[in-house]
Chain A
Amino acid sequence: MAEQVTRKPYLRELPRTLWFLRHPRYVRYMAREFSCFFIGAYTLMLVLGLKRLAEGPEAYAGFLEALASPGAIVFHLFALAFSAYHSITWFRLTPKAMPVQLGENFLPDGVIAGAHYAGWALVSLVVLWLAGAF
């Protein structure tokens, strides 16, 4: 007769908060996710600018002045760095999400990510043109 087998599976505890400190790749992932806070904050700031603009020239001038303060400049530098990180990390992932198959081959990853960079550059140029930079 078969011997009695004891089963008592043990589930190892995982940290619930700060779980992402377990591995550098989780930290990189959290950095990518975290970058969206800066993008969100920047968007809110733009909406606030629109509101000031609607309130008249004086309010808008005050807004522009506030933008020139050291704090606002530091915020802009952070927002720029994080949105660049956000865009670059996501663009690098685009070939995974949207492969293009031509016959028996797939377009190289660089072409798909590159197309996103090209789109980014184009949109930026349009924005600069609308802003009267040229």
Chain B
Amino acid sequence: MSERRVELDVLRYNPETDRTPHFQRYSVTCREEWVVLDALNHVKETVDPTLAYRWSCHMAVCGSCGMMINGEPKLACKSFLRDYPGVIRVEPLAHFPVERDLVTVIDDFIAKLTRVKPYLIPKEAKPIEAGEYRQTPAQLKRYKQFTLCINCMLCYAACPEYGMIPKFMGPAAISLAHRWNQDSRDGGRAERQEEIAATEGVWECSFTGACSEVCPEHVDPAAALQRVKIKSTIDWYLAHTMPWLNK
């Protein structure tokens, strides 16, 4: 098994002692088949136990190891060292405040996620005895792709709009709202529209498409946002030209 000396430039920030973050160079021997997360773990185990970062699953499902690797939002557990020949620059996810080292403050995203009610709001509530809410494969297919989101926030780190206008609901929250709106069992669209059809909802999106380029799960959030724009526009015209439709 081949080994390689890997140089990592890691952004460090200690809120207790630092006024601003700074880069620190680590040099560790890594196996060629490792991912960046393995290299960080190796640094933490053998060189510097104070290095802080988040991770859990090591298999691209928990969404907690998002960071900037050579300026690109990436899951550290899905970024193979063999794809990074030179010094690897590792920074916390862009657009989020830095809590410590590679750990960011994600409260803003969590609050937005909560606001879009990303759960089933049944069209018609029925007692458990009445059985499950049924759905055909075609109805499932309609939204399946948007269920794949792992809340890793790479799309927020890629989105220039979110960087400039932090109030923007952002790609993942709107995609998840769209996921539930597209669900045949769900009746919560009107509640979610309050949040996502607003200025700081989907209309802040200028379709840069960066979110879809970086999404590790191929959710294609940019697609969801454009569909929400079209549907919201249709809503607006219907409400203004055929008000009787709104009961």
Q: Give chain B nearest CB distance to A96 CB in angstroms.
A: 4
Of the residues A9, A14, A101, contact of B105 by C-beta under 8 Å: A9
Q: Is the CB of B230 within 8 A of A25?
A: no
Of the residues B15, B94, B208, B222, contact of A6 by C-beta under 8 Å: B15
* A20 interface hit (Cβ, 8 Å): yes
Residues in B216-232 with C-beta less than 8 Å from chain A: 220, 222-223, 226-227, 229-230
Q: Give chain A nearest CB distance to B153 CB in angstroms.
A: 15
Q: Give chain B nearest CB distance to A52 CB in angstroms.
A: 36
Q: Give chain A nearest CB distance to B184 CB in angstroms.
A: 12
Q: Is the CB of A26 within 8 A of B210?
A: yes
Measured CA separation A51–B206 after assembly (Å):
34
Residues 8-20 of chain B, each 1 if its beta carbon lies under 8 Å from chain A, else 0: 0000010110101
Of the residues A6, A10, A22, contact of B98 by C-beta under 8 Å: A10
Measured CA separation A19–B138 after assembly (Å):
42
Q: Give chain B nearest CB distance to A131 CB in angstroms.
A: 33
Q: Is the CB of B163 within 8 A of A19?
A: yes
Residues 1-41 of chain A, each 1 if its beta carbon lies under 8 Å from chain B, else 0: 00000111111101010011011011001000100000000
Most B CB contacts (10 A, CB to CB) among A6, A25, A99, A101 go to A25
Measured CA separation A103–B142 after assembly (Å):
9
Closest residue on chain B to residue A20 by CB atoms = B160
* A48 interface hit (Cβ, 8 Å): no
Q: Chain B residues in contact with chain A, CB under 8 A?
A: 13, 15-16, 18, 20-21, 71, 94-95, 97-99, 105, 137-138, 141-142, 160, 163-164, 206-210, 212-213, 220, 222-223, 226-227, 229-230
Q: List 9 A-B contacts (CB under 8 A).
A: A6-B16, A8-B16, A9-B105, A14-B95, A16-B164, A22-B160, A96-B222, A97-B229, A99-B223
